[in-house]
Amino acid sequence: MTIRALVFDVFGTCVDWRRSVAREVAAVLPGVDATAFATAWRAEYDPAMARIRDGGRGYVPLDDLHRENLHKVAADFGVTAPDTLSAAWERLDPWPDVVAGLTTLKTHHIIAPCSNGSIALMTRLAKHAGLPWDCILGAEIAQDYKPKPAVYLASCAALRLSPHEVMMVAAHNDDLHAARRAGLATGFVPRLAEHGPGQTSDLTAETDWDVIARDFTDLARRVTPEAP
């Protein structure tokens, strides 16, 4: 297995969206249960993409879906939220091991997000969080949303690599199942705090992913070529 590039899920795998969004909500909407608001906002994410995946709506960048969902959730909470709160998703903090692990991986591999976030969102988030990507891949270049195979395949094609030369890294088994079906190598890193203390999903690897690592430091150690 010669891996030339690693592509990453971002929300949950690289960054702690739940606590970061809650912090931004708390600053703008005092009196609201900010963690509940963040969780409800995130819960609208998959249904909003589903219509696009199914062809019921053309590709719309996640920035716009986040804004639409913000107003839906704000109404449910009985408040009015400013459009600018959508930029909360550009200010998510990385898990503690991420920047060091990516920096090590970057010395021998191409590293890029393969996220459902847009180029604009991923670019601004990378600046906030210090994620040292080589380029931005994912939904926007495919004009579709994961777990559709087009997103993984377009990301490999943009690098002019075969899927078996690219490893998808995620904290979510579903993402890796889809990547493996598209022919990519797979790396699992658990994020046991993504959904808070009561998390029940993705606590362990569901199958024999090509690499199962404790965190990004461990991942970097496992995929870095041996010294000659």
67 scored as a contact of a second copy (CB under 8 A):
no
CB nearer to a second copy: pick between 17 and 133: 133
CB nearer to a second copy: pick between 141 and 153: 141
| Cα 50 to Cα 25, 53, 59, 170, 200, distances in angstroms | 25, 5, 11, 20, 23
160 scored as a contact of a second copy (CB under 8 A):
yes
- Distance in angstroms (rounded) separating the CA atoms of residues 185 and 169: 9
CB nearer to a second copy: pick between 69 and 155: 155
Q: To the nearest whole angstrom, how small is the minimum distance from the Cβ of residue 17 to a second copy?
A: 20
- Considering only residues 33, 44, 63, 215, which one is a binding residue for a second copy as defined by CB under 8 A? 63
Contacts of 72 (CB under 8 A, 6+ apart): 44
- Considering only residues 98, 126, 139, 182, which one is a binding residue for a second copy as defined by CB under 8 A? 126
61 scored as a contact of a second copy (CB under 8 A):
yes
76 scored as a contact of a second copy (CB under 8 A):
no
Q: What is the side-by-side strand order in the sheet with 185-188?
A: 137-138, 110-115, 5-8, 166-170, 185-188, 211-212
- Distance in angstroms (rounded) separating the CA atoms of residues 14 and 212: 15
**Which tokens in the block code for residue 118?**
């847009």
153 scored as a contact of a second copy (CB under 8 A):
no
Beta-carbon count within 10 A of 19 CB: 16
CA dihedral 15, 131, 149, 12 (to 10 degrees): -10
Q: Which stretch binds a second copy (CB under 8 A): 10-18, 37-45, 96-104, 111-119?
A: 111-119
Chain residues in the site for a second copy (CB under 8 A): 61, 63, 110, 112, 118-120, 122-124, 126-127, 133-137, 140-141, 158-161
